[in-house]
Amino acid sequence: MQPPRRRRLPTPTSLLPQALCLVLACGPLPAASTAQQAAEPAVQRLRADVSFLADDTQEGRSPGSAGIERSAQYIARVFEDLGLATAPGLDSFEQPFEITGNPRLGKSQDLVARVDREPPAEFDGNLRRDFMPLSIGGSLRAEGLPIAFAGFGITTDEEAAFSYDDYAGLDVAGKAVILLRRAPGYDSPGSPFAADGPQPPDVATFRHKATNAFRHGAKMVLLVNDAGSLNGDEDELLLFTAAGTERYTTIPFVHARRAFVDQILEAAGAPSLAELEQTIGSGAEPTPAGFVLDGVSLDAEINVEQPTIVARNVVGVLEGSGPMAEETVVVGAHYDHLGRGGAGSLAPFSRDIHNGADDNASGTAMLLEMARRLARRPDPLPRRVVFIAFSAEERGLLGSRHYVKNAPLYPLEKTVAMVNFDMVGRLGDDRELTVFGVDSTPGLRDLVAAVGPSYGLTIKPNAQVAGNSDHAPFHEKGIPVAFLFTGTHRDYHRPSDDTERIDFEGMARIADFAEVLLLDFARRPERPAFVASADPEPQPRLAGSSASLGTIPDYDDSIQGVRLNGVREGSAAEKAGLQGGDIIIGFAGQPVGTIYDFMEGLSRSKPGDTVPIEIRRGDDTITLEATLDAAAPREGHDD
């Protein structure tokens, strides 16, 4: 689906020439030969910055790692060497804020199955021998949990190529559920669930099993290896973080050995796991085989801790001079990435370092290059320029949202523009540079189109804001934005996004162009006016979903539910009465414990559906109704 057409904003006839004259006051735009002569030092600087940030020694710059701390110190040293000031209220160039860190295994772990029939028995599980909690789940202390077997824990959409539901006719509310890994016939070409078959691939994932069990009311998951997951005859337990470190569900998600679970099944007079897999089958039409175990219960104490860690935005300030000196232009780029993969990685089973050379060492290097160029100008700029390297962008724009929502170092009402660099390292032979947000202030569209060719760039002006990077929170506050982006690629969010794939000559061209853009924002005699689009921003399409609600989630792992930072103007959420600060705890009649429960519910909905949404607002619990919009793919990368 093409993004909706945007009305082109009229440009005052005097604005574009005036803006260009302000930029050109320091000299004419260099011709191509002059640009080439001046490019080599910039190429070297950009290469040095990207090479440091994307080196293996920085460990993928995951928040909380030693590598991201070294990266923050590197950025701060550049700011200091340039003579940039620290922001008011900060003791250094760093603006700290707290986020939820990687989960860790708590000290207290216990799993005991009790047989309440003749002869009575007790099976005491041993941590690391019989079971291992996984970091994607939560904690629980419970006695006497009933137990159910729910096959592979899969529920497909009604319109799927093969309709299948392991929970059909099975009540698992308040129970621990035994689930098999992967899917029926995952290794069998004739199965609809084969790895290369017609079903969506996510039905075999831990995420689907976790959210599906929670949505059916289960209190705990006991996952066992299916026959195809065995390593020969060895039934290996997964490590605590083997499924990633992002919390998919609030209920415990425990990997158990088949021998331990088979003891429980035998005590309940039920078939073994091997027999149950045979019953389900691996052919063209597998058959669900769920049931509640008779006379067996589970005592569990599972403890997965969610520690708090400190992340840091790095902020350097170039003060302005004159009557507009208290107005601020923000230049931003995020410097964090995915560490060794896990949540967000498109190589989900890899534990290799994800260096993120393009995403976003390239943008951070561009930020530093802009700081060098503007700080070394002999003439002071009329407006203040604040350079911010944001952290925890990959976790949901946490650094930029912290700045905008909790700790703006300069008043947002006097922040006149925000320019963001995210993935600017792959210009390539076509020399195409996308600039998002060109209609957020009059004249910007024509300015970028006029200036780009002078530096050998083919500018793709785009009215969309593409709210998946750090400019979005500023735009939500009514601040004009420009987001520079060279496009996604097959190395995106994979270990192969390395320095040798970066086009440094192309980055130097972008740096020349971006300097002109920043000078325009810093020098305009009138404050850049904010223009809200008359058309709603296209919403990103979730896998398998064509519906959109229009919420802006907080991605706060520390709460039960999904807290909202806000809702998009004109969206189904706004029309339904949802507000920033609301916590969604139910969607379409199903509970919501994490963002993934909410995504699962939305993926099963269609445009035009009217769904109940249960929220907590302060001390009140409220149910609203929303009629869902149609989602459109959003351009730009998807973090």
pLDDT value at residue 568: 84
Of the candidates 313, 352, 319, 361, the one whose C-alpha atom is nearest the C-alpha of residue 504 is 361
CA distances from 361 to 271, 330, 396, 397 (A): 54, 18, 18, 16
CA distances from 83 to 305, 596, 622 (A): 42, 45, 52
Q: What is the mean pLDDT of residues 128-151?
A: 97
Between 315 and 635, the higher pLDDT residue: 315
pLDDT value at residue 40: 61
SS3 522: helix
Compute the distance between CA of residue 370 and CA of residue 69 in angstroms, rounded to an integer. Answer: 22
Of the candidates 148, 144, 122, 159, the one whose C-alpha atom is nearest the C-alpha of residue 218 is 148
Compute the distance between CA of residue 358 and CA of residue 422 in angstroms, rounded to an integer. Answer: 8
With 50 as the cut, is the pLDDT of residue 1 above it? no
Count the Cβ atoms, other than its own, within 10 Å of residue 466: 26
Confidence of residue 536 (pLDDT cuts 50, 70, 90): low
The answer to whether the beta carbons of residues 65 and 377 sit under 8 Å apart is: no
Least trusted range by pLDDT, from 157-161, 320-324, 357-361, 466-470? 157-161
Confidence of residue 556 (pLDDT cuts 50, 70, 90): confident
Of the candidates 42, 72, 44, 46, the one whose C-alpha atom is nearest the C-alpha of residue 58 is 72
219-251 tens-digit pLDDT? 999 999 999 999 888 999 999 988 888 899 999
Which residues are paired to 148 by β-bridges?
A: 177, 292
Per DSSP, helices labelled H in 125-241 are 206-215
Q: And the tokens for 50? A: 């990207």
Confidence of residue 565 (pLDDT cuts 50, 70, 90): confident
With 70 as the cut, is the pLDDT of residue 183 above it? yes
pLDDT value at residue 313: 98
With 90 as the cut, is the pLDDT of residue 53 above it? yes
Strand pairing class (562-567; 551-553): antiparallel
Compute the distance between CA of residue 82 and CA of residue 90 in angstroms, rounded to an integer. Answer: 18
pLDDT value at residue 545: 56
Q: What is the mean pLDDT of residues 331-345?
A: 91
Q: What is the mean pLDDT of residues 593-613?
A: 92
Least trusted range by pLDDT, from 70-79, 190-199, 514-523? 190-199
With 90 as the cut, is the pLDDT of residue 12 above it? no
pLDDT > 70 fraction of the chain, expressed in percent and rounded: 89
pLDDT value at residue 4: 30
With 50 as the cut, is the pLDDT of residue 430 above it? yes
Q: Go through the domains of the chain in sequence order and give each one's CATH number.
A: 15-101+308-523 (3.40.630.10), 104-304 (3.50.30.30), 547-630 (2.30.42.10)
With 70 as the cut, is the pLDDT of residue 123 above it? yes
Dump strand ranges (E) for 202-280. 220-224, 253-256
CA distances from 422 to 47, 280, 390, 393, 431 (A): 16, 47, 11, 10, 16
Confidence of residue 22 (pLDDT cuts 50, 70, 90): very low
pLDDT value at residue 570: 85
Of the candidates 329, 623, 369, 327, the one whose C-alpha atom is nearest the C-alpha of residue 507 is 369
Q: And the tokens for 485? A: 């982006």
Least trusted range by pLDDT, from 96-105, 216-225, 361-370? 96-105
The answer to whether the beta carbons of residues 225 and 236 sit under 8 Å apart is: yes
pLDDT value at residue 489: 93
